[in-house]
Amino acid sequence: MTTEQATPGGFESSVESRGRRALHALLSTGTIFLLLFVLLAWIAVLNPSFLEPGPFLAYLKRAAPLVILAAGGYFVIVSGGFDLSVGSLVTVIVVAAARLIEGEPSRAWPVIALLLAIGATVGLVNGLVSTLLRVPSFITTLGMLLILEGAVFLWTGGAPTGALSENFRAIGRQGIEGIPLIEQLPWSVLVLFAIGIGAVLLMRADYGRQLIATGDNDRAARMSGVRVNQVRTIAFVLSGTLAAVAGILVGGFAGVSAQAGLGLEFDAITAIVLGGVVLGGGRGSVVGAMAGALTLEALFTLLNLQGISGALEDTVQGVIIIAAVAFASYRLRGTR
Amino acid sequence: MSEAPLLEMEGIRKSFVGVEVLHGVDLDLRAGEIHAIVGENGAGKSTLMKVLAGVHAPDEGTMRIDGEEISFAHPHAAQAAGVGIVYQEFNLLPDRTVAENVFVGREPTARGVVDRRRMERETAALLDEVGETGFGSRTLVGRLSVAQQQVVEIVKARSLNARILVLDEPTAALADHEVELLFGLVRRLQERGIGMLYISHRLREVFALADRITVLKDGGLVKTLATSQTDSRELVHLMVGRELDAYYPPRGETDDFGDVRLKVTGLSTSLLRDVSLQVRAGEIVGVAGLQGSGRTELARAIFGADPMKAGTIEIDGRPVRFRTPRAAVRAGLGFITEDRKIEGLALAQSIADNMLLAVRTVVPGGRRRRSTPGLMSVKELAAATDLRARGPEQEVRFLSGGNQQKVVLAKWLETQPQVLIFDEPTRGIDVGAKAGIHDLIRKLAREGVAVLMISSELPELIGMSDRILVMHEGTLAGELPADARESDIMHLATGHTEAAA
Amino acid sequence: MTVVDPESTATPPPEPPRGVAAWRESLRASPATPVYAALVGVFLLAWLIVALRGGSFLTLDNVVNMLQRSVALGIVSAGQTLVILAGSLDLSVAQMISLASLLGAGQMDGQEANVVPAIALVLAVGAGVGLVNGLVITKLRVNAFIATLGMALILKGIIDNRWDGPYGSVPDSVESFGYTRFGILPMSVFLLLAVVAAVWFLLRYTRFGHHIYAVGGDEEVSRLSGLRTHRTIIGAHIICSLLAALTGLFLASRLGAGTPTVGPEGGYDLESIAAVVLGGTALMGGRGGVLGTLAGVFILAVLDSTFNELQVNAFLKDVVRGVIIIAAVAVYARRKGAE
């Protein structure tokens, strides 16, 4: 039984400094960073040149699309939803880019603007159908996945036409040249950091706090005045737009194909879950999700180095997903 | 009625987390008897019944069925012994038929295959036993009304050969004619020698049905009487009537009260009928009433959480129409809900995030917020509410009930509301924290906030309110001045309009 | 206050109707009925559209063709129905189908004598995969979406690692099974009907089936009523993977060999969920049935066939399919909310 206390109430610790808060945030996503560190160290042991700027940046370049997809998917998942349409959206973006640009460099930037708009629109439709029509987002984005897959077929009949221009490809492939020490700072890495920082800032702003509160307890959020439908729809728009960005990078990096985005939605969800984000919403950080993507990519790199054939990569990924979620739900139960 | 009691409970004691909630209660039930159990919210009725149903093991005391001592390790043991309990929250599967629900988990089989005909036949026979003609064993439970679903629950208990049936507030959600049907059902079971424990606060029903009445108060047995030898006045007197020994902050004087901040006229919803009230700045208006009388519905309708069918609301003289809680928040209202875990807090989020949840929807943007006067930092809010926690980043789910409630309060404080509605502000909070919250509420009132306070704890209601409104079955039964007697409140709340002597 | 006279005889509860009346009432009550109505509607619409375009839709060949096409999807969707009814999900069926076809055709190796042991092996593997799925979901408390997705990836890895093209061979006698006709209908259609009938019987007349509905409807209520909820969910997953394995065997018999892509190429994972959902089974579980799923499978087959007939491009086909699925779920959700 508590007794009347002489000292006034308040927090035991004094106001936490910015540094401490940052440290705390880092620690709460601790596990994934530990895992990432272990994997990177392992790779470095097997291949010491990995830590050199060139190879390391190449790793980041490879990872960039997945990290961006993980950030976008995070917004939807932390608010309690699912976005299964991002993979096919990436394919659409890649194929559409080729068709629209047709190798003509002057078209690149207007087309990029259009592609981002397409991504945002797809997200908007996903969001509106899932909130206003109350269709579970699993189903909505599943349906959208089918629609987008069909769109690819329309345009390509299986074999994409058109071509990307050099300046478009440069985004996924090239970078700023002539920087001391590292030679080339890839554009995709810059985009990666920009989006990463943007995502973190967004989550710390009002919108982000409302988003995660909605995923945690949408009734309490609504009763506190949060516009739950709007917040969730915006999350889908973000997911779609960022998928478009990822598509632009993928197109530049890997070229045009009708399988460009195949399975990416599942990779993204793996990364997000690996990063400690809980399916169903309310917990987990965007930094964690992005770290999860980096970790997944590091894992694939490691498997390649170990000579494990590409096929078993899938098996490993499957085991990892299950283990990560089982571990997370075990921790959840423990702390309840 | 047979000689030996069907059920005897003697000296039942039960504690939770060091707090004793049942202090040696005795109860006995005869075959074919309808025995009512009455008492305020929190008197211990539910806990006693859960002990009987095998959900809780008593710390002390004995139970006997047909004279034989018995104890239950698990609810299934109680079921096997013939105890059936119909809770207010039904355990039914809406997409399955009545027969399928009755036999869930125990489906009868013939040669390995589920014998559907037998299921339906036996269910039909049980429905017949209770005189139910409105639906059959093939009806989907989801299509039944609440009253009919209750019949299914009763039939389910009977299919397990319950001889002792506990009905927990069975008429709370029923319309008048459905109540009559339930009476018929109950009497038919009585004829078959089933003993029934009927928990209710609706004294009219208690007097219509019960052979004996047991009154519980604050976890203890007050008295067991024969219905014929008492009346509702005595019953109410036995149920309440405590000394107001707790300290409450001094009430406001009429001079302290400002203009009318909240004015509700003719509010009607699916549950409420024509409710009107007003609250002035600086006033604390208490709302009393029994469970199901519409208090929370009133609060939710005012706050825009539920739709209104008719009526008007004015805030500071301006007519308003809230279609969503958001609109209410922006108009200067705050609502501390009944269940903070379900509607008040995002449990996995930090104290800081929870405290700022409402203000972020009202005053957006970082820079603008800093330039708005009166806004407190999280640290200041913690000090203002006397919050005890490790730090602003601590997750709210780790806090005690009292501290959690303080976070909810802080959330609304930050929006600088004109009108605050409290629904059970100190439920589940220990004594020390309660006083702190009471002080805070009175302080807010003194600063000009109009406060509407719903509470089931009569001492708190009387101690805090400047005026008390009493709800009864969806309407305003009456208004009492500050310092009203508990029995006066109870009389109005139970539907008696006889003037207090 | 009325006093109820205990002596008066209340009107007896309505006698459950017999015969035709019973049939009519169960038709009205069944959640599958509106789906069959939709099927008829879609069928007529398709016939109309094709006729207007100058083609012929209602030919015997066409109908038989549609039925033939429904067999594979139908069998796996029947299994998916069980899992979804129990409140879970199985995204690993497509890979299971591929694996089953490869293992089955491989074991058979063109020899008649190997057929039975091959089938036994494949079904055992199927049951094992289902068991693992069920255990991961119940004991490790992993979300069904993730657990079966993970399993799909695990299976995919194993498949891609060992096989990269058609493998094994199915003896001619088995291969012809898929094509022999019994009257006008191919044998395979009877296989489908047998499977659907078995699943229907399971759901309606076994305790296990009843428990599936209970657990899917409300797991907590089921637990409080004494049900072993974990066993029920695991059992549903075992049967689902078994039926996926059966589908793989069937497809192998049609192709003459097993292939690594037969599962994903048919889109059996998402299509089976679509068929179940179209058939009126709620994604949340507890409501619906396999007859509705069958209708859902037929609807998809009619749509497929019509689009082929009209030579509609693939885009429109997928768009319409996607829109229909979303619309169906939205409509069912609305109806349930309005009740």
| Distance, CA of B496 to CA of A298 (rounded, Å) | 75
Q: Measured between beta carbons, which residues in chain A are less than 8 angstroms from residue B432?
A: 1-4
- In the beta sheet, which residues pair with residue A175? A186
Say if the Cβ atoms of C225 and B91 lie within 8 Å. yes
Neighbors of chain C by Cβ distance (3+ pairs < 8 Å): A, B
Is residue C270 a contact partner of residue A84, using CB atoms and an 8 Å limit?
A: no
**Residue C240: CB partners within 8 Å, gap ≥ 6?**
C79, C80, C82, C83, C90, C93, C130
| pLDDT on residue A334 | 55
Instruction: Tell me if A148 is assigned to some domain.
Output: yes
The Cα–Cα gap between B14 and B20 comes to 6
Alpha carbon C171 to its chain's center: 27
All chains having 3 or more CB pairs closer than 8 angstroms to chain B:
A, C
Encode pLDDT of B297-328 as tens digits. Answer: 999 999 999 999 999 999 999 999 999 999 99
Residue at A260 is within a domain: yes
Contact B212, B190 (CB under 8 A): no
ipTM: 0.85
**Structural domain count, chain A:** 1
Q: CA of B382, closest CA in chain A: separation in Å?
A: 5
pLDDT at position B500 is 42
| pLDDT score recorded for residue A311 | 72
Q: How far is CA B353 from CA A206, A229, B32, B337, B388, in A?
A: 10, 20, 57, 18, 16
pLDDT at C100: 96
**In a domain? residue A12:** no
Out of A153, A322, A333, the one facing C315 most closely (by C-beta) is A153
Task: Work out the burial of residue B176: count CB atoms within 10 Å of its CB; fewer than 13 is exposed, 13-18 middle, 19 or more buried.
Answer: exposed
* From B386, B390, B393, residue closest to A21, measured CB to CB: B393
- Give the closest of B107, B124, B188 to C13, CB-based: B124
- Quickly count: other Cβ atoms within 10 Å of residue C111's Cβ: 12
Closest CA to C304 of C42, C20, C5: C42
Highest mean pLDDT among A218-232, B85-99, B424-438, C143-157: A218-232
Q: Is residue A251 part of a domain?
A: yes
Interchain CB distance below 8 Å, B187 and C4: yes
The CA distance from A212 to C14, in Å, is 53
Sheet (strand B467-472) strand order: B333-336, B419-423, B450-454, B284-289, B467-472, B475-481
For residue B214, the one-letter residue type is T
Q: How confident is the model at residue A5 (pLDDT cuts 50, 70, 90)?
A: very low
Dihedral (CA of B481, B485, B489, B494) sign: negative
Average pLDDT per block of 10 residues along chain C, 339 residues long: 34 51 63 78 80 74 80 96 95 96 91 90 97 96 88 92 88 78 82 95 94 93 88 97 96 89 83 87 83 91 79 70 74 60
Instruction: Work out the percent of chain A whose per-residue pLDDT is above 70.
Output: 89
Q: In Å, how far are A51, A65, A250, A267, A271 from A191, measured between CA atoms?
A: 21, 10, 13, 20, 19
Residue to test with chain C: of B74, B86, B95, most C Cβ within 10 A: B95
- The set of residues, in sequence order, having a beta carbon less than 8 Å from that of B42 and lying 6+ positions away, is B218, B456, B457
pLDDT of residue C10: 39
From residue B215, alpha-carbon distances to B199, C8, C11 in Å are 10, 35, 38
Range in A193-207, A290-304, C228-242 with the lowest mean pLDDT:
A290-304
Q: Taking each helix axis from N to C terminus, what angle separates A264-274 and A86-101, rounded to the nearest 10 degrees? A: 130
Closest chain C residue by Cα to residue B182 = C4
Q: What is the pTM of this model?
A: 0.81
Q: CB distance A279–C145 less than 8 Å?
A: yes
Domain membership flag for residue A332:
no
CB C122 within 8 A of CB C89: no
Total number of residues shown for chain B: 501
> Would residue A274 count as lying in a domain?
no
Instruction: Locate A109 and state its tokens.
Output: 């930037």
Mutate to test the interface with A, among B247, B360, B368, B377 (most CBs of A within 10 A): B360
- What span, in angstroms and rounded, lies between the C-alpha atoms of C238 and C129? 7
d(CA A190, nearest CA chain B) in Å: 27
Domain of A123? 63-265
Q: Which chains touch A (3 or more CB pairs under 8 A)?
A: B, C
Contact call for residues B123 and B102 (beta carbons, < 8 A): yes
Average pLDDT on B212-237 reads 89
Per the DSSP assignment, residues forming a β-bridge with B165 are B84, B196
Identify the pLDDT of residue C148: 94
Q: Which residue of chain C comes nearest to A318, CA vs CA?
A: C150
Tell me the shortest Cα–Cα distance from A332 to chain B, in angstroms.
10
Backbone angle region of A279, left / alpha / beta, with phi > 0 → left and psi within -120 to 50 → alpha: beta
Per-residue confidence band for A33, with pLDDT thresholds at 50, 70 and 90: confident
Q: Which strand (E) or helix (H) includes residue B65?
A: strand B60-65
pLDDT band at B40 (very low <50, low <70, confident <90, very high): confident
Alpha-carbon span C27 to C30, nearest angstrom: 5
Q: Which chain B residue lies closest to A223 (C-alpha atoms)?
A: B325
Tokens representing C261 are 């892509």
The two tokens of residue C60 are 């015997």
Helix (H/G/I), strand (E/B), else coil: C141: coil
Chain B residue nearest residue C223, CA to CA: B105
Chain A environment of B358 (Cβ under 8 Å): 224-225
Each residue's pLDDT tens digit, A242-262: 999 999 999 888 888 878 888
Residue B297's pLDDT is 93
Q: What is the structure's pLDDT at A134? A: 83
Interval A60-100: pLDDT, tens: 999 999 999 999 999 999 999 999 999 999 999 999 898 88
Q: Cβ contact (<8 Å) for C217 and B96? A: yes
Residue B143 corresponds to which tokens in the numbers above?
């299509």
CB atoms within 10 A of CB C321: 24
- At B318, is the secondary structure helix, strand, or coil? strand
User: Which chain C residue is nearest to residue A262, measuring alpha carbons?
Assistant: C264
Cβ–Cβ under 8 Å, residues C99 and C127: no
Half-sphere exposure of C242 (CA within 13 A, CB side): 16
Considering only CB atoms, B100 lies closest to which of C206, C210, C227, namely C210
pLDDT on residue C240: 98
Cβ contacts below 8 Å, chain A against chain C, sum to 139
Q: B111: distance to nearest CA of chain C, Å?
A: 10
How far, in Å, CA of C211 to CA of C230, rounded? 11
Closest CA to A332 of A280, A268, A278, A256: A278
Looking at CA atoms only, how far is residue B151 from chain C in angstroms?
Answer: 14
Tell me the H-state helices in B335-400. Answer: 351-355, 359-362, 366-370, 378-384
- List, as ranges, residues 30-89 from A with C-beta within 8 Å of C: 82
Burial class (CB in 10 A: 0-12, 13-18, 19+), A61: buried
C266/C271 Cα distance (integer angstroms): 8
* C49 CB neighbour count, 10 Å cutoff: 14
User: Coil, helix or strand for B423?
Assistant: strand
Contact status of A6 with chain B (Cβ, < 8 Å) = no
- Taking an 8 Å cut-off on Cβ atoms, the answer to whether A1 and B432 are in contact is yes
Query: Which of these, C98, C252, C103, C64, lies nearest to C175 by C-alpha position?
Result: C252
Instruction: Give the amino acid at A23.
Output: L
Percent of chain A at pLDDT exceeding 90: 42
Q: In chain B, what are the domains?
A: 7-239 (3.40.50.300), 258-493 (3.40.50.300)
Interval B410-422 mean pLDDT: 94
Residue C30 has what pLDDT?
A: 65
